[in-house]
Chains A and B, each alone.
Chain A
Amino acid sequence: MQDLRYARASSVADAVRLLADGGPTARILAGGTDVIVQARERTREISLFVDVKHLPETMALRSANGAGLVIGAATPCYRIYGDADVARDYPSIVDAASLIGGTAIQGRASLGGNLCNSSPAADGVPPLIALGATAVITGPGGERRVPAREFATGPGQNVLGAGELVVSIEVPAPTPGSGVRFLRFIPRNEMDIAVVNVASALRFEGDTVAEARVVVGAAAPTALLVEEAAQALVGQPLTEETIETAAAAARAAVRPIDDMRGSVKQRRHLAGVLTGRTLRDAARRARGEEVASHP
């Protein structure tokens, strides 16, 4: 563990001040499941942890009817998937929150942390992008909102400026006829980093796909919103043919790398497979069918 200090923020403004005073090596400490490992293994220089888990804003979880969902940036996964309203209205978020790490990791890890760690393979990010979520950022210059899809700018890099932190994530309310699904591929059945992950969101008008979003993770420097996949789906009923066209679009759009966790060929192929599977499940959910996130 590198030499570092710990400070507990007493308010969002206090957190902003602590971050600003701490300089570029100050980091927000939410669940800590990434940053504590980075500090211990010295893969990222950190001199100060600013703990934001004692603030109502960062620990929020509100899903007012019709007004969307607000997830505090530090709200741990277990609270997210344990919430009946979230489970009903935002099942793809539950899909992700319930498979990040094991149970003990989910006791701490947060979607805000997942976003800010900005790993291309983050499991929490594709569902947020597919749902059109927005990160609410506060900093020395006040508050700003950045769409989840624009948040990460590269592996480990994001739009946060000096002294800025994500306070919460806002997710629009589901519209009638919509269905969402997130899946990842890992070699084991738990405790792995995604080789590829995909979130899909569909909105039907009758049998016709009125809106579609397919987001592929771990297959490009940041999670990738595959516009061509959406184009292949919108305006038609969802069929195995349109699904295959969307999957082919996902395969064509990804820019994966070869690393110890997966090969280019494997990732490209899996992007197609998971696109198909998430679309089928999303359609089921749109029809009101039960698709379980986990046992």
Chain B
Amino acid sequence: MVAPAKSPYRVVGTRPVRPDGTDKVTGRANYGSDIRLPGMLFGRVLRSPHAHARILRIDPSKALALPGVKAVITHTDFPAAEDAVADLGETSSNLKWLVDNVLASDRALYHGHAVAAVAATDPHVAEDALALIEVEYEPLPPVLSVHEAMNEAAPRIHPNMHTVEMMARFTPGPRSEHDIPNVASHLRMEIGDLDAGFADAEVVIEREYETGTSHQGYIEPHNGTALWNEHGELTVWLSTQGPFAMRDSLARVLKLPVSKIRVVPMEIGGGFGGKISAYMEPMAAVLSKKTGRPVKMIMQRDEVLFGTGPTSATYVRVKVGAKRDGTLTAAEAYLAYESGAYPGSPVGAGGMCMFAPYRVPNQRADCYDVIVNKPKVSAYRAPGAPAAAFAMESTLDELAEQLDIDPLEMRVRNAAVDGTRRIDGVAFESIGNEAVMTAAKESPHWNSELQGENRGRGIAMGFWTNGGQESSAYATVNSDGTVNLVIGSVDIGGQRAALAMQLAETLGIDYEQVKPLVVDTDSIGYTFITGGSRTTFATGWAVHEAGLEIQRLLEDRAALIWEADRELVHYDDDGVIRGPDERSLSFTEIAKQLHRTGGTVQGKADVTPEGVGPTFACHIVDVEVDPETAKVQVLRYTAIQDVGTAVHPAYVEGQIQGGAVQGVGMALSEEYVYDSEGRMRNASLLDYRMPTTLDVPAIETILVEEPNPGHPYGVRGVGEVPIVPPLGAIASAIYQATGVRPRTLPASPRVLLEELLPDDEG
């Protein structure tokens, strides 16, 4: 089933213009950096030039003497700092890490680590002041890769930290018998009997893979404006994926009750997981407290690259066993992911996702979270999965080739189906994995012939699951028959539209009758982040529930108006309330009468939905590799994905296309380049190479609509999985084109050329 022949919905599945669209094409939409307040000061951050250094002394006196400079802060200005310092040791040091990552305390742990911040009357003056803050450093040897970090001789970045055997990140289990240097945690997932599985195999191959550090690359730099007023109330305006998550972080760092903090989400210019953590916001708050004035802070682009959270650079070793007919018998992986300066890489997710599209009875993944002197990693679209999938998909491809089986057929033969157990023990239910593979097999792209020299075609699968968590919504009926829909989920790419559509569907009214509004943390119940592929799913659920409450209340009102038996009054799918004696009132008609019959009506819902739907994707890519320069050009790209019900298909396609192109960047051109001292050398959008319009072709999409039975409209999260398959697909395509299989990504021309060049040249 590629798409249902006839949609059961009136609004869901259509492609209306987004409610915030006009503001966004006229320049009127207010993003975080667009805010201007009376008396506002401008803040800037001084950052460490060293990857690892003891901070001996910070002297702000010259900066403070500069006219226009109003305040300088360091780590000690945070109220939580004192407690946090005491919280050393091997147990959960979350708070210390959180505070230290915002502003370094005794040591700077990466190039770009914030060490001080200044507020001044003018942005130019604030910048001038940075140069006047004196910091004395004692440089320490940096640790720059998982291999270096895990070596016995490596300096311990957190001397008191020991490896814990963890269920998951930040959850200490027993201390490991083998304390591995700079490894914060080791997580093992296992099902079946691995040894038996490999004994059963007729072919076994084991390969190693590495990926570089890449950044979410949102075009809008981080920003935050804070006003801490005389009553001790803090208001922060910013671009964030999670206003409530930010409120929580601020409360912890600043030791404030959440009720004293109001976070106002402005429009957000991209996030992809990177705009959740606190960076400058607590600094802006403390600078505001110190000066009594609002303080606005905006990162420069280089700060975004070296001062926020990119994704992990990774090392993955994978071993796969199969029968001659291609049946997989066992799969084992060793994953070591850089977490940056503090624990918390997404290595567990990598281990959990890499084998998920396949039915492998015996599996094990050992996942290591490794500290290095680089920025603390942050979530980035399907965190951890792309690198791990690259390793598995490449190995599977090689296995298929050895067994002389078509790579897609190899996947079809081993496809996970309902009832197949994942490595974490969960059995799949109602998944679209096979449907995606079938759609790939039937796609025009797969059935086209690839002609021309130096060209190759690759295919790869990807898996991700979407999140549930809390969401709130309420909706008020206006007398003109419209509805104000109030939500706490930030709109990062069409969420207002997708949510308004679901409410319109529930109420049987037109999309245009719903006016969605994103509000601050004082104005709605706790709503988890816009991220984790959860908003259309979970906030959509809340919106639906709010709609159902409106239905019930309007039934009550109609019964009252008609003096009819409540049981005989029904709100029908077409938005008409019908009662006895063929009486009926349309939504608009009853809306008009509300004020005269007892007042307005409001539906509300706070939900924590279960029933999250796992998603699968299959990408097909054709590339051409210039044999003389090793430059890879993507010629054609098709992304097939199980999207559940596509609420607004254009934005679903957009998620897939955007995710695929970010994956192309990871595969071909994006990586952090460090020198031997651990300084990032390419902290600009010139040299951190995100794909341009010329680097990618049109991205064809095939939406496989396998509705999620766990959601009223069958919604599955769609945003993350499209970044998972591109790495493996492109690597395989390069192999087909050149005979060289990239095992380190990005496969930049520089790296690939080494493989393609004749040895005698030079």
Contacts and interface: CB of A to CB of B under 8 A. Distances in A.
Contacts of B748: 187
A188 interface: yes
B762 interface: yes
Interface of B is mostly: loop
B629 A189 contact: no
A104 interface: no
Contact of A273 (B124, B629, B694): B629
Given A185-B631, A188-B669, A261 B687 contact: yes
Interface stretch (B10-18, B32-40, B133-141, B750-758): B750-758
A265 interface: yes
A241 interface: no
B691 A188 contact: yes
B131 to A, nearest CB: 8
B673 interface: yes
A249 interface: no
A263 interface: yes
B387 to A, nearest CB: 20
B692 interface: yes
Size class of A's contact patch?
A: 20 to 34
A247 B687 CA distance: 28
Given A185-B629, A269-B757, A273-B629, A260 B687 contact: yes
Contacts of B754: 265
A251 interface: yes
A3 B128 contact: yes
A270 B669 contact: no
B681 interface: yes
Contacts of B686: 191-193
A90 B535 CA distance: 56
B449 interface: no
Nearest to B628: A273
Contact of A251 (B631, B669, B691, B762): B762
Nearest to A191: B692
A265 B762 contact: yes
Contacts of A102: 692
Nearest to B691: A188
Contact of A269 (B124, B127, B761): B761
Interface in A1-49: 1, 3
Contacts of B669: 187-188
Given A260-B673, A269-B753, A188 B762 contact: no
B695 interface: yes
Contacts of B127: 1
Given A188-B694, A189-B692, A269-B757, A262 B750 contact: yes
B252 interface: no
A143 interface: no
Interface in B668-716: 669, 673, 681-682, 686-687, 689, 691-695
Interface in B392-417: none
Contact of A188 (B128, B673, B695, B753): B695
B658 interface: no
Interface string A97-108: 000001000000
Contacts of A83: none
Interface in A83-125: 102
Interface in B703-762: 748-750, 753-754, 757, 761-762
Interface residues of B, number: 27
Contacts of B762: 251, 265, 268-269
Nearest to A277: B628
Contact of B631 (A1, A187, A193, A269): A187
A208 interface: no
A207 interface: no
Given A192-B686, A268-B762, A273-B629, A187 B749 contact: yes
Contacts of B673: 260
A190 interface: yes
Interface in B326-352: none
A266 interface: yes
Nearest to B669: A187
A3 B128 CA distance: 8
Contacts of A262: 750
A195 B762 CA distance: 17
A185 B749 CA distance: 10
Contact of B629 (A188, A259, A270): A270
Contacts of B687: 193, 260-261
A265 B629 CA distance: 12
Nearest to B761: A269
A1 B754 CA distance: 40
B676 to A, nearest CB: 12
A191 B690 CA distance: 10
A104 B695 CA distance: 18
Nearest to B630: A266
Contacts of A190: 692-695
Contacts of B633: 189
A2 to B, nearest CB: 8
B112 to A, nearest CB: 15
A192 B689 contact: yes
For A191, A263, A273, the residue with the greatest tally of chain B CB atoms inside 10 Å of its CB is: A191
Contacts of B693: 190
Interface in A53-103: 102
Nearest to B632: A187
A236 to B, nearest CB: 23
A188 B757 contact: no
Contacts of A269: 753, 757, 761-762
B130 to A, nearest CB: 10
A266 B682 CA distance: 19
Interface in A251-283: 251, 259-263, 265-266, 268-270, 273
Nearest to A252: B762
A166 B178 CA distance: 67
Contacts of A189: 633, 692, 694-695
Contacts of B629: 185, 270, 273
Interface string B626-665: 0011010100000000000000000000000000000000
A119 B142 CA distance: 31
A266 B762 CA distance: 10
B703 to A, nearest CB: 29
A192 B692 CA distance: 11
B628 A266 contact: no
Contacts of A3: 124, 128
A265 B757 contact: yes
A92 to B, nearest CB: 20
Contacts of B631: 185, 187
Interface of B: 124, 127-128, 628-629, 631, 633, 669, 673, 681-682, 686-687, 689, 691-695, 748-750, 753-754, 757, 761-762
Interface of A: 1, 3, 102, 185, 187-193, 195, 251, 259-263, 265-266, 268-270, 273
22 contacts: A1-B124, A185-B629, A185-B631, A187-B689, A187-B748, A187-B749, A188-B689, A188-B692, A189-B694, A190-B692, A190-B695, A191-B686, A191-B692, A192-B686, A193-B687, A195-B750, A251-B762, A260-B673, A265-B762, A269-B762, A273-B628, A273-B629
Given A187-B669, A193-B686, A265-B762, 13 more contacts: A187-B750, A188-B691, A190-B692, A191-B692, A192-B689, A251-B761, A261-B687, A262-B750, A265-B754, A266-B749, A266-B753, A269-B762, A273-B628
Q: Closest 4 interchain pairs by CB?
A: A189-B694, A260-B673, A260-B681, A273-B628
